[in-house]
Amino acid sequence: MLTGDRPTGALHLGHLVGTLLKRVELQNQFQTFIIIADLHTLTTKPNKEQIAGLKERMRQQVLTYLAVGLDPDKTVIYQQSRIPEVCELATIFSMLISVPRLERVPTLKEQLTNLHLDQVSLGLLSYPVLQAADILMVKAEVVPVGQDQASHLEVTKEIVQRFNNNYGRVFPEPQAIFSTEKILVGIDGQAKMSKSLDNGIALFDGPDQVKAKVMRMYTDPKRIRATDPGTVEGNPVFIYHDLFNNDKYEVADLKKRYRMGKVGDIEVKEKLASALNNYLQPIRDRAEKYRKADYLDDVLDSGSQTARNEAIKTLNQVRQVMGL
């Protein structure tokens, strides 16, 4: 199994319920590789200031993985740019896919719109090809993905089919494992919690930060006074209560009183802040245990060497069947 993230900033509750908890579960079922995709960050953030912060962001990413329960004895956590073989593999794969096919990848248009770009760089266009090389260099059989990344995996499958048909069977056709969790709504009521929108609660936010963010959360816009009956369904505050508040009696009571106009938003939010801090405290505690730069670097060094050994074996096989 291979999955991972770009080191573009702090991971948040949306990442936790969307992917991280599933990875912790799956590491007991598969030989697991987690990529910290620093080369992929260059597709949208190639400026020098962003690159300067990469090393520290990668350490924070390793720390987050360990804090949520990923075990470096079970899971290979590695840095993409330390595997030069992946770039050669991506070059070979780029001969097997057309430009028009890559231009039809739905996420490309979304990124152009979101990033306000007038034209696409070659790196951004060929992002799914480099991603295919990441997946196939370890011959991953399964890839946990969100629905928005499914089109990328289809490109990988097409590359596998063309390579195997042209040169001989080397690669398995990876299958998607789709998350069963719903996308977590942002604290501003937007459909998705996102680093770029700054509408999330980071996993390492302190108790005061969590409370401050919760207190400005979007609720029922039609509710003017605490005595007005409120809507629970689709209300971000209650979505979070359902996910993160372990006191189900308290949640049921708050919902009942909210619908009747007998509880204000302040009390509902204060109790959510308390529940979230209780939920996040074990993650914070584990982070303190592992928060040593040397240890985090050792995890990344060891994982990168393991991943590179796999990549070397795969590339040697590719060269052999191609006659290179």
Q: What is 162-219 written as a DSSP string?
A: HHHHHH-------EEEE--SPPPPPTTS-SS--TTTT-S-BTT--HHHHHHHHHT---
CB 33 within 8 Å of CB 2: yes
Reply yes or no on whether the pLDDT at 88 is more than 90.
Answer: yes
92-106, 167-181, 236-250: segment of lowest average pLDDT: 167-181
**Which is more confidently placed, 188 or 166?**
166
Asked if the structure places residue 46 within a domain, the reply is yes
Q: How many separate domains does the chain show? A: 2
Residue-wise DSSP of 67-79: HHT--TTTEEEEE
Asked if the structure places residue 197 within a domain, the reply is no
Residues 31 and 118 in one domain: yes
Q: What is the mean pLDDT of residues 197-220?
A: 93
Residues 247 and 173 in one domain: no
Residues 296 and 281 in one domain: no
Q: Report the pLDDT value the prediction gives residue 197, as an integer from 0 to 100.
A: 77
Asked if the structure places residue 232 within a domain, the reply is yes
Residues 224 and 273 in one domain: yes
Q: Report the pLDDT value the prediction gives residue 106, as an integer from 0 to 100.
A: 86
Residue 279, CB half-sphere, CA atoms under 13 Å: how many? 22
Q: What is the mean pLDDT of residues 248-266?
A: 95
Distance CA 295, CA 229 (A): 53
What mean pLDDT value characterizes the chain?
92
**What percent of the chain is predicted at pLDDT more than 70?**
98
Q: What is the mean pLDDT of residues 289-314?
A: 96
Residues 214 and 237 in one domain: yes
Q: Model pTM?
A: 0.91
Q: Report the pLDDT value the prediction gives residue 164, as an integer from 0 to 100.
A: 98
Asked if the structure places residue 67 within a domain, the reply is yes
Q: Report the pLDDT value the prediction gives residue 247, as an integer from 0 to 100.
A: 96
35: CATH: 3.40.50.620
For strands 175-178 and 2-5, give the pairing: unpaired
Q: Report the pLDDT value the prediction gives residue 180, as an integer from 0 to 100.
A: 66
Reply yes or no on whether the pLDDT at 287 is more than 80.
Answer: yes
CB 64 within 8 Å of CB 75: no
Give 28-80 pLDDT, tens digit per residue: 999 999 999 999 999 888 889 889 999 999 999 999 999 999 999 999 999 99
63-72, 154-163, 174-183: segment of lowest average pLDDT: 174-183
Asked if the structure places residue 47 within a domain, the reply is yes
Residues 239 and 303 in one domain: no
Asked if the structure places residue 217 within a domain, the reply is yes
Asked if the structure places residue 198 within a domain, the reply is no
Residues 175 and 272 in one domain: no
Reply yes or no on whether the pLDDT at 319 is more than 70.
Answer: yes
Asked if the structure places residue 134 within a domain, the reply is yes
CB 9 within 8 Å of CB 57: yes
Residues 238 and 311 in one domain: no
CB 301 within 8 Å of CB 58: no
For residue 102, the enclosing domain spans 2-184+292-322
Residues 109 and 12 in one domain: yes
Residues 312 and 276 in one domain: no
221: CATH: 1.10.240.10
Hunting for tokens 């802040």 — which residue is that?
273
Residues 48 and 178 in one domain: yes
Reply yes or no on whether the pLDDT at 117 is more than 80.
Answer: no
Residues 178 and 211 in one domain: no
Q: What is the mean pLDDT of residues 1-26?
A: 92
